[in-house]
């Protein structure tokens, strides 16, 4: 029996569309690329429900006449390539002539466009494969594309879309990349009623980074540049000794195209070996320019990767650019930002700052905090105390210490707890140890979902940066779970109404902003654990704090009850052991 048959045009189109359009961010990416290719100076992206209900991209680019507008939905129709040779020198972001065809095949789409030749614009409405209407309209020069109900006719795909806020994260990240690549273009991203990104046109990359990431980031960046054999690398990257604890702010562009590239990443990290402290990674915004013929851009379905003809050259260029930038020499003042610098993007608005410094702030409800824990609530946070083991968490009596773990001998340099273990001395890092203890407690609280909250009667107003707004919108549920409740005050202002009852009220703002900054950078899977670790770090005793014997006893006992006493949640060691045999040997005793 004959088994093979040709797929219907409709099924074939949907399969092809699936390659290009995976989720809302893919649609945004294709439409914004078209706008940039059309020479736009103003690109506005609007989403409803993370793009699942509506994605609208509007530009002031070249627009299309009626004939082109009708053609642009045909697969393999493009104005960007004509001959096979053109494939060798692609200067535009698009070139396959399939994006609009793919998007149209899996959505309800309305295109409005006008090419400036006369006042008459064209509106085309489509529903999946079906052309619904072509109408004359009055429209300014440029193009707008509205994509509604993505995957309405492809339920298998629709099921895989995440919640609206989760789809927003990648879109914001993409718009950030696009905005970095073209500082002279105005970019706006609006989600529902909220303006998430608003970047008016500027002259330099530095100004664009400032618009998106804030002052602290910009202050930590140096200019880098190197040129060789027709290739060039330039941009901004961390100054010596700056950097950050993760690799999440590393942006690469090749001939203006945002890319993910292993070679560039490896080169960057190698370039920084010895320039940053261990455990820190550079921030980087690197732009590689190469002759078009030396880069193959046609190697990835979403064009997110490229292939270099000469990878060695690219590697060398990055090493040189960073190396020369770093060796130009920077004063200490440049390298180490002055104490008291306000946070990067999220600054406490004037209002909030005044409120804190006047010390008027916390209403009666917030003052009750520490009563249960007896003054210093941090070793035995009120929250944890109420977890059901209040007694167990308050400092233990001397004899129970002996019974339960190494005996504390004292504190060294206000940083280390020295204890007698079974066959040697233990030197315990008090901060790392407390971090481990709190981390496990928080994990338990989190599992049971019983974060205790405290209300701020006069809530501080926070003015968030665009990236923080995205982080907040993407993680609303997680923050709620952790006991932070914020209310929008319009624009990018938020009021912090409640915070988890684990630390002093005056720490709440700093801790919240710190978490926000980090949450935006992480993938969904490890975000929760990471937030708990950060919370533990922020609430643990610091190095340099004198501890009394009871607290030390409590801490050591709790540490050895945890699942992993040797490592803090960030993977740093907690305990050093000095074997008795070593001591004996050193003192000449057998
Ligand atoms: N915003 C726009 N302004 C002006 N012309 C546009 C716009 N969007 C699309 N076009 C025209 O429609 C054509 C088809 O767009 P489409 O995105 O489908 O393909 P492409 O950009 O040529 O290639 P690719 O599939 O790689 O994106 C483009 O080549 C361009 O001529
Ligand atoms: Mg395109």
Asked if 486 and 502 count as a contact pair (C-beta separation under 8 A), the reply is no
**Residue 360 in this model has a pLDDT that exceeds 50:** no
Average pLDDT score, the chain: 82
CB of 100 closer than 6 angstroms to any ligand 1 atom: yes
How far apart are alpha carbons 101 and 10 in whole angstroms? Answer: 12
Strands 284-289 and 250-254: parallel
How far apart are alpha carbons 468 and 343 in whole angstroms? Answer: 12
How far apart are alpha carbons 344 and 221 in whole angstroms? Answer: 13
More confident residue, 396 or 2: 2
Asked if 462 and 491 count as a contact pair (C-beta separation under 8 A), the reply is no
Phi, psi of 575 (to 5 degrees): -130, 140
CA of 34 to the centre of ligand 2 (A): 5
For the chain, give every domain's residue range.
9-199, 205-335, 347-577
Residue in 68, 100, 303 to alter for ligand 1 test, most ligand atoms within 8 A of Cβ: 100
Take residue 426 and report the two structure tokens written for it.
């233990």
Asked if 301 and 257 count as a contact pair (C-beta separation under 8 A), the reply is no
- Which pLDDT band, with edges at 50, 70 and 90, does 421 fall under? confident
* Nearest alpha carbon, ligand 1 atom 19: 97
CB of 62 closer than 6 angstroms to any ligand 1 atom: yes
Report angle CA 322, 325, 326 to the nearest 5 degrees: 85
- Which pLDDT band, with edges at 50, 70 and 90, does 520 fall under? low
Q: What is the mean pLDDT of residues 164-168?
A: 89
Q: Helices 466-474 and 205-213: crossing angle, nearest 10°? A: 40
User: Residue 327's pLDDT is what?
Assistant: 77
* Nearest alpha carbon, ligand 1 atom 6: 34
**Residue 112 in this model has a pLDDT that exceeds 80:** yes
Phi, psi of 391 (to 5 degrees): -65, -45
What distance separates the 2 farthest-apart alpha carbons in the chain? 101
Matching residue, tokens 């202002």: 493
CB of 35 closer than 6 angstroms to any ligand 1 atom: yes
Pick the CATH number of 9-199 from 3.30.565.10, 3.30.479.10, 3.40.50.300, 3.40.50.720: 3.30.565.10
> Nearest to residue 48, comparing CAs of 193, 223, 253, 215?
193
CB of 30 closer than 6 angstroms to any ligand 1 atom: yes
How far apart are alpha carbons 269 and 277 in whole angstroms? Answer: 12
Atom of ligand 1 nearest to the CA of 145: 1
Burial string for 435-450 (b: 16+ CB within 10 Å, else e) reads bbbbbbbbbebbeeee
Yes or no: is domain 205-335 CATH 3.30.230.10? yes
Q: How far is CA 579 from the centre of its chain?
A: 44
- Tens of pLDDT, residue by residue over 180-229, are 999 999 999 999 988 999 999 999 999 999 999 998 899 999 999 999 98
CA of 177 to the centre of ligand 2 (A): 17
Pick the CATH number of 347-577 from 3.40.50.720, 3.20.20.10, 3.30.1370.100, 2.70.98.60: 3.30.1370.100
């Amino acid at each position: 029996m004959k088994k093979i048959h040709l797929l219907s045009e409709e099924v074939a189109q949907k399969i092809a569309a699936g390659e290009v359009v995976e989720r809302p961010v893919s649609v945004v990416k294709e439409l914004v690329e078209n706008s940039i290719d059309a020479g736009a100076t103003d690109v506005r992206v609007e989403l409803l429900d993370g793009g699942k209900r509506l994605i609208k991209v509007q530009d002031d680019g070249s627009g299309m006449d009626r004939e082109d507008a009708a053609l642009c939905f045909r697969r393999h129709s493009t104005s960007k390539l004509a001959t096979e040779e053109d494939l060798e020198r692609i200067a535009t972001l698009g070139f396959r002539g399939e994006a609009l065809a793919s998007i149209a095949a899996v959505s309800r789409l309305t295109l409005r466009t006008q090419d400036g030749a006369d006042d008459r614009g064209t509106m085309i409405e489509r529903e999946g494969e079906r052309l619904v209407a072509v109408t004359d309209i009055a429209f300014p020069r440029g193009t707008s594309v509205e994509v509604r109900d993505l995957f309405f006719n492809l339920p298998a795909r629709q099921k895989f879309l995440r919640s609206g806020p989760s789809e927003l994260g990648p879109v914001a990240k993409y718009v950030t990349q696009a905005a970095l690549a073209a500082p002279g273009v105005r970019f706006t991203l609006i989600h529902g009623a909220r303006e998430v990104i608003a970047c008016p046109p500027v002259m330099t990359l530095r100004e664009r980074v400032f618009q998106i990431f804030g002052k602290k980031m910009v202050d930590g960046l140096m200019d880098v540049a190197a040129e060789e054999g027709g290739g060039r690398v330039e941009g901004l990257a961390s100054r010596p000794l700056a950097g950050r604890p993760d690799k999440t702010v590393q942006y690469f562009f090749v001939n203006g195209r945002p890319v993910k590239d292993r070679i560039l990443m490896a080169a960057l990290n190698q370039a920084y070996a010895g320039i940053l402290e261990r455990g820190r990674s550079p921030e980087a915004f690197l732009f590689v320019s190469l002759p078009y013929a030396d880069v193959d851009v046609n190697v990835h379905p979403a064009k997110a990767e490229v292939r270099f003809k000469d990878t060695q050259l690219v590697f060398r260029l990055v090493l040189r650019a960073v190396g020369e930038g770093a060796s130009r020499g920077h004063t200490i003042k440049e390298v180490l930002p002055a104490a008291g610098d306000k946070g990067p993007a999220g600054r406490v608005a004037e209002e909030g700052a005044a409120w804190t410094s006047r010390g008027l702030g916390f209403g009666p409800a917030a003052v009750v905090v520490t009563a249960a824990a007896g003054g210093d609530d941090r070793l035995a946070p009120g929250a944890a105390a109420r977890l059901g083991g209040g007694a167990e968490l308050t400092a233990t009596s001397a004899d129970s210490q002996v019974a339960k773990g190494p005996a504390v001998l004292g504190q060294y340099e206000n940083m280390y707890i020295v204890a007698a273990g079974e066959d040697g001395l233990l030197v315990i890092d008090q901060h790392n140890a407390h971090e481990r203890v709190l981390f496990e407690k928080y994990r338990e609280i989190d599992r049971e979902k019983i974060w205790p909250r405290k209300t701020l009667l006069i809530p501080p107003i926070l003015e968030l940066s665009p990236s923080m707004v995205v982080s907040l919108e993407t993680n609303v549920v997680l923050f709620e779970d952790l006991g932070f409740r914020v209310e929008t005050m319009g624009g990018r202002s938020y009021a912090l109404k409640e915070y988890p009852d684990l630390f002093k009220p005056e720490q709440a703002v700093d801790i919240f902003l710190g978490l926000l900054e980090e949450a935006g950078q992480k993938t969904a899977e490890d975000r929760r654990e990471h937030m708990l670790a950060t919370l533990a770090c922020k609430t643990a005793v610091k190095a340099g704090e004198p501890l009394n014997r009871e607290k030390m006893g409590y801490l050591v006992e709790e540490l050895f009850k945890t699942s992993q006493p040797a490592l803090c949640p960030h993977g740093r060691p907690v305990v050093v052991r000095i074997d008795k045999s070593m001591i004996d040997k050193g003192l000449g005793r057998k």
